[in-house]
Structure 1
Amino acid sequence: MKLKQLESFLGSLQQFENPKAENSFGDVTDKVVADFGCGCGTLGLAADLLGAEHVIGFDIDAESIEIASSNADELEIGHNIDVNVMYLDVLDRTIDTVVMNPPFGTRKKGADMDFLSVALKVASQAVYSLHKTSTRDHIKRTALREYNASSAEVLCELRFDVPQLYKFHKKKEVDVAVDLWRFVPKTIRGKHS
């Protein structure tokens, strides 16, 4: 699938109004991919469209899960995707790659790091995650020293226009600088250390 087609597909997906709080590395095609905090399913659906063997979406918001399932059905790829209302510490399947856009930790300090910690424990190949650019040094240092990542690399810098979705958002829209990271977990003889 060409990137323009992927962008068109993803741009047409239903989004949720009241949320609760390039494959150049070979980490997606023919891999089991988990989308942590999947929301409406955008990242997981993108992984499926890029050739993932199987995609599992995790979220604690039942409404988000319904929307993600609806979006998968809309793209006629629901047979390859499971979405579950559950917490990240309840995993019983081997995960090759984790993709996620965690809460940035602005309201609940460290929320993004909780996601990253679990992702690096369960992913056998890679973790792709979005984090505020202003936390770059902290993210890298913590991933390498405390979360057992063997590498932590910013793949690109992005700008997000975050709309006022939550009651605690004070402004109608905020422009946020964001990094797309690729983390590789440490392994010993094919297993996590």
Structure 2
Amino acid sequence: MKMITRKKHLEMKLQSIPSHPNPKVGLEQYSTPSVIASDLIWNAYSLGDIEDKNIVDLGCGTGIFAIASSLMGANSSIGVDIDEDSINLAIGVKDKLKLDNLNFIVSDINEFNEGSITDTVFQNPPFGSQRNAEVGVDLNFIQKAIGLNCSVLYSFHMASTEEFLIKYFEVNNLKITHIFRYKFPIPKIYDFHTKENQNVDVIVIRALHK
């Protein structure tokens, strides 16, 4: 496949990835918009975290970060998610795009063990945008990334938790180098939603494993 040379072209490719086929409220499933995913991956590529690297996308959903990494020249890219419906959709996109450097695995992230070296981890975990969301799930993802001994971590979180996270990353020997800020749209897909669309302030922390 021809290498993508412009961020807009990457965004256009990612727009073809369907949303979660059957979003599950317990997993707090919201599809990452292509404009956010393409911007983050483009920045990661510019920082040398994608090309020829081994990528893991934890809680990948329909696989947007794993797919984008493959399109941008990753050596290998693995998407991991507990939801079989989402993984089956992601596999269909992989087959359509004919990406040989991409694989998807149905697994709880806590049970996933990558045998080879992991260079870069992307994760957009349930970050607590719902009132009754389970507390600390995103921290569990951070601990899993540390366990994979990755060199670089990109992790989504609520912007309101930034001060706490800065301290948490430091305590866990993760050196924060960049913080990317986005307005994440939450569409009306669950019964308890009262607004057609709501923007949530999120941050993506890039950190190096010391």
The TM-score with structure 1 as length reference comes to 0.88
Change (3 A) 1:114 1:169: farther
Is residue 24 from structure 1 mapped to residue 46 from structure 2 by the alignment? yes
Structure 1: how far apart are the matches of 2:140 and 2:194?
25
- Partner residue in 2 for 1:114: 140
Is residue 136 from structure 1 mapped to residue 140 from structure 2 by the alignment? no
Report the 3-state secondary structure (helix = DSSP H, G, I; strand = E; otherwise coil) of the residue aligned with 1:33.
strand
Report deviation, 1:105.
2.7
- Partner residue in 1 for 2:61: 39
Contact 1:120 1:148 survives alignment (8 Å): no
Report the 3-state secondary structure (helix = DSSP H, G, I; strand = E; otherwise coil) of the residue aligned with 2:109.
coil
Could you tell which deviates more after superposition, 12-21 or 164-173?
164-173
- Partner residue in 2 for 1:87: 108
Structure 1: how far apart are the matches of 2:11 and 2:188?
23
Report deviation, 1:26.
1.1
Structure 2: how far apart are the matches of 1:12 and 1:74?
10
Read off the aligned partner of 1:102 and give its amino acid letter. Answer: P
Where does structure 2 lack aligned partners over 5 or more consecutive residues? 28-42
Identity %: 34
Contact 2:21 2:86 survives alignment (8 Å): no
Contact 1:29 1:51 survives alignment (8 Å): yes
Paired positions, count = 183
Structure 1: how far apart are the matches of 2:193 and 2:82?
20
Change (3 A) 1:172 1:123: farther
Read off the aligned partner of 2:209 and give its amino acid letter. Answer: P
Contact 2:121 2:150 survives alignment (8 Å): no
Read off the aligned partner of 2:125 and give its amino acid letter. Answer: P
Read off the aligned partner of 2:126 and give its amino acid letter. Answer: P
Read off the aligned partner of 1:15 and give its amino acid letter. Answer: S
Read off the aligned partner of 1:53 and give its amino acid letter. Answer: N
- Partner residue in 2 for 1:104: 127
Read off the aligned partner of 2:106 and give its amino acid letter. Answer: V
Report the 3-state secondary structure (helix = DSSP H, G, I; strand = E; otherwise coil) of the residue aligned with 2:73.
coil
Report the 3-state secondary structure (helix = DSSP H, G, I; strand = E; otherwise coil) of the residue aligned with 1:108.
coil
Read off the aligned partner of 1:8 and give its amino acid letter. Answer: M
Change (3 A) 1:160 1:46: same
Q: Which runs of 4+ in 1 moved over 6 A?
A: none
Report the 3-state secondary structure (helix = DSSP H, G, I; strand = E; otherwise coil) of the residue aligned with 2:167.
helix
Report the 3-state secondary structure (helix = DSSP H, G, I; strand = E; otherwise coil) of the residue aligned with 1:30.
coil
Structure 1: how far apart are the matches of 2:200 and 2:125?
14
Structure 2: how far apart are the matches of 1:139 and 1:88?
21
Contact 2:181 2:201 survives alignment (8 Å): yes
Alignment of 1:1-193 (within 5 A): 1=4, 2-20=6-24, 21=27, 22=43, 23-77=45-99, 79-89=100-110, 90-93=112-115, 94-106=117-129, 107-145=133-171, 147-149=172-174, 151-167=175-191, 169-186=193-210
Question: CA deviation digits over 1:136-188, x for unaligned, max 9?
Answer: 0111111111x221x124432110111133455454332101112101112xx
Greater share of residues in helix = 2
Structure 2: how far apart are the matches of 1:60 and 1:168?
23
Report deviation, 1:115.
0.6
Read off the aligned partner of 2:86 and give its amino acid letter. Answer: S
- Partner residue in 2 for 1:190: none
Could you tell which deviates more after superposition, 17-26 or 83-92?
17-26
Change (3 A) 1:68 1:148: same
Read off the aligned partner of 1:33 and give its amino acid letter. Answer: I
